[in-house]
Chains A and B, each alone.
Chain A
Amino acid sequence: MTSKYQALPKGVSEARFDAAIKKFSAALGADQVLTSAEHLRPYTKVMMAVPDARHQPSAVVTATSVEQVQAVVKICNEYKIPVWTISTGRNFGYGSAAPVERGQIVLDLKKMNKILHIDPELCTALVEPGVTYQMLYDYIEEHKLPLMLSFSAPSAIAGPVGNTMDRGVGYTPYGEHFLMQCGMELVLANGDVLRTGMGGVKGDKAWQVFKWGYGPTLDGMFTQSNYGICTKMGFWLMPKPPVFKPFEIKFDHEADINEIVEMLRPLRIANIIPNAVVIAGTLWEAATCGVRRSDYITEPGATPDSVLAQIRKDKHLGAWNVYCALYGSPEQVEVNWKIVTETIKRAGKGKIVTQEEAGDTQPFKYRAQLMSGVPNLQEFGLYNWRGGGGSMWFAPVSQARGSECDKQYALAKKILNKHGLDYVGEFIVGWRDMHHVIDVLYDRSSEEETKRANACFNELLDEFEQEGYAVYRVNTAFQERVANSYGPVKRSVERKIKRALDPNGILSPGKSGINI
């Protein structure tokens, strides 16, 4: 059956949707309600190995205030319209701006983009969802504040609210972003406005400095979930250190991963190296410094090891390339640098590259920028490795043990190569964990390759689960599948909470597999 809309919400007739659209227009202004194919097209552009149509929104509405968000929620309840909320919509590896299910309307909060407060003494910030890291960076620079940001790689155009709500990570000592979050404001499905932590106390000034408040601490349940719409978020900023010393350690062999992790873990846990260390594989490095697969090989399928070796040689890359930084006073950095260099010397392998030696070469330059809170867009080079617009991030976590990383790397490479795709991955070292991030890159303009990529992603999930691993985050096409990895009891609890808070199931139904 044809409709004048690009899609309709599940179970909602066109006439009913007409009425809802009319109400959205009255509440928000007609210019904040979009239904045309030309406006919805960029909201539908996904990089996942499934048809676009599965993620086609029916409309996009934008809000400029908490009151307008409340109005949207009210109309959605009245007409049973599911609403998928985005802040900047730049969650590229995990679903972009498109909704998890066809027909949902998108609530785009890009226009709620006020930096509400930055306290340079307490080193805290309070922002709206549309604020990007670039906006924050510009503000900090303009006001000459002695503060440093932490962000994910799409830094300039992504934002702290979306990244933190999806439990994204960055590359500075404040890289575990949810850990640095302090205070949220949320519009609930019934229109109530909840402030977490100290935010509910009249006259309180500690909202952005004391996370826990009183009674149950609720912030975590609103991340990677669909229990509320975050309209403000507080977080901590790192004081800009007097000395920042980035460095790289290159390792020649893939088999070195075990020793690398065993060597770095004690330094990381003891905060000798305080930032989220990255251990990047050859192809991640190559792609981010402008190498394309077609520069070396035109045959389809997995890139042979001989080609990887040639790329390493040509571009002076390691099989593993470790990026770390030291922060602090000159004395602190000097002491820690001595500990780091002696540790590497003792290991008998690994070549240290300092900033002075690297100069402005990529990928060192952008890595140093990420570790020092300077936004850039260099990592988008990944999408040019194969080209064709296909990208799905597979992100299993593990203990920070060499044996675990070795095992995960071997398993991932075997499965990817079996499906004719490449291992383009990195490990991000948390305090005690590893986020193993693999970009499953494929040519989405090829139907055959897209099918292979889909099969590959399913096999990665299945085989890793067999070995006791699960991903910490996944794109919208696989969220229902991944929810099962965490067991039926968790799913049941999540559903009960959903039914209690959102009885009509209007807020992002299907997000993380959560439905009423």
Chain B
Amino acid sequence: MIVFKGVSKSFKGFLAVKDVTCEINDKEVFGLLGPNGAGKTTLIMTMATVYRPTKGEVIVDGHNASIEQDKVKSLIGISFQDPKYDRILSAREILEWHGKVTGVEKSVRGKRIDEVLAKFGLTAESRKRTWTLSGGTKKKIENAKIFVQRPKVAVFDEPTAYLDVPSRLMVWEMIDELRDEGSTVLLATNMMDEADRMSDRVGIMNRGEMVQVGEPATLRGSLRGRDIIEMKLEVPIPELPGEVSKTEEVKEARFEGDTLKIMLSNGRGLLPYLINVVTAKGGKVQSVSLKEPTLEDVFLHYTGMKLS
């Protein structure tokens, strides 16, 4: 289990992580959701003992990350958001060195490297210097380090950034395998579909704070009774959110670009009425949709901002 107890981390007066308290269970995939700059990476680096918390403590598998650094680090493997390795070296050399330094036995190391390279379709390029490879390939190598290491706590920071669809699916499948083998997975992402598909639970971070933690379905359920009507207008009319909010069932209304987004209960019943309100105010409706809350809506609800 990983426990964050009132963890804060500041850099020269800037508070990057603010009083985060949460627990991550063994063998679960915990999605850490938040926009760039939300504090996800700082929280991860604090857990990995790279940063020392300014306040609070992180306990990993019973070990305090500030005191028993070596023990904590021997449990963790991090796939960084931006690939971090010697780009003068080849993929095979990078994986060989990473496996060696993280204690993967020689007898299994070579075979595991071959398997991971093959899964990512990197066998042919495995001896090229990595600085000559594409961004997506570099990212695959960054992820591959963890699949070779197979740590007890695997951290993936934006694991599918720069990847094409087949590669994303492959990474997801391999993360699932890792969890099935007994690893706890911490998945930092700003992709809702990834968090929704992969996570047993998600933590929503915004401006350094952990604003909500729960299972994706539960979080979506917390917005039950909150249907969402999206009306795309020819031209946005600023007073419309205020106007539709006069209706008792409307919980929230706002413009996102030229789309009026209305969160409400009984959306189906009120749809004709709301269209009338909009058109009466001169709004020209181009399209209308009615949908259930998504994780993106949950994020919007708790942070007041869109993730992407």
> Do A and B assemble together?
no
A residues sitting closer than 8 Å to B (CB atoms) are none
B residues sitting closer than 8 Å to A (CB atoms) are none
